Structure 1
Amino acid sequence: MIEKLNNIMKDEILSLEKLLGALDKQHEYVVKNEILKLEKVVEEIEECNREIAKWEMERRNLTKGKTMSSIVEELKDMEIEKNYRKMRTLLEELNVQKDANEMLIKQGLGFTTRMLQILNPDRSAKTYSPYGKMK
């Protein structure tokens, strides 16, 4: 069981590293405003997610629903512990990269929306609030 779990964890780590690479590409394309390349990266990200889910299901079937931290404590195998720590680190990096990409995309959408409002202003009658601001 230890050897099989270790192999599954190694495969999952490779999949997580591929996903991190795809998110880095996405970040680069968002910064450079390369919209067409962004669509290709989305497919790559989805493929990486499917692969990670496959490995995670295999790992969960092998561990029978136990948490990984308890399994690492029980087995006291140095290689499994090292792989577990590496997985945790990669997951944190993935979370940070995902949040950064989402923030950049939202900023870009906000900027685009604002530019569209400037280019195509609302033609309805303007009224003033009690504070002198236009509604």
Structure 2
Amino acid sequence: MKEKLNNIILEETKFLEKLLVALEKQHEYIAKNEVFKMEAVVQEIQNLNVEIAKWEMERRNLTKGRGMLEIVEELGDSEVENNYRKIRGLVEELKTQKELNEALIRQGLGYATKMLQILNPDRSAKTYGAYGKMK
């Protein structure tokens, strides 16, 4: 079980590293406003997520739903422990990169919305609400 689990962790690590590279490419395209290249990267990210999910399911089937930290401590193998730590670090990097990309996209959408409001202002009649604010 130890060797099979280690192989699964290594395969999952390989795909997580590829996903991190894809997210970094997405970040670059967001920064440069290259929309069509961003669309191609989205498909790549989706494909990598499918592969990661496949390996994750394989790992869960092997461990019978038990927690990885518990299993790693139980095995007492330094190689499995190092690979597990590496995968946890990668997951944290992926979260950070994903959140950064989402923030940049939200910022860009907010900017585009403001520009559209400036170019095409609301022409409806302005009325005051119950709290004295304009609607």
For 2:86 and 2:94, locate their aligned partners in 1 and report how far apart those are by CA, in whole Å: 12
Q: TM-score, normalised by structure 2?
A: 0.94
CA-CA distance at 1:124 after TM superposition? 1.3
CA-CA distance at 1:123 after TM superposition? 1.1
Which residue number in structure 1 is paired with residue 70 of structure 2?
A: 70
For 1:129 and 1:80, locate their aligned partners in 2 and report how far apart those are by CA, in whole Å: 63
* 2:12 matches 1:43: no
Which residue number in structure 1 is paired with residue 104 of structure 2?
A: 104
Q: Where does structure 1 differ by over 6 angstroms across 4 or more consecutive aligned residues?
A: 129-133
Q: TM-score, normalised by structure 1?
A: 0.94
SS of 1:41's equivalent in the other structure is helix
CA RMSD of aligned residues (A): 1.6
Which residue number in structure 1 is paired with residue 115 of structure 2?
A: 115
Say if 1:5 and 1:130 are closer, same or farther in 2 by CA, change over 3 A.
Answer: closer
User: For this pair of structures, how many residues does the alignment match?
Assistant: 135
SS of 2:113's equivalent in the other structure is helix
SS of 1:123's equivalent in the other structure is coil
For 2:129 and 2:66, locate their aligned partners in 1 and report how far apart those are by CA, in whole Å: 60
Unaligned runs of 5+ in 1: none
Unaligned runs of 5+ in 2: none
SS of 2:124's equivalent in the other structure is coil
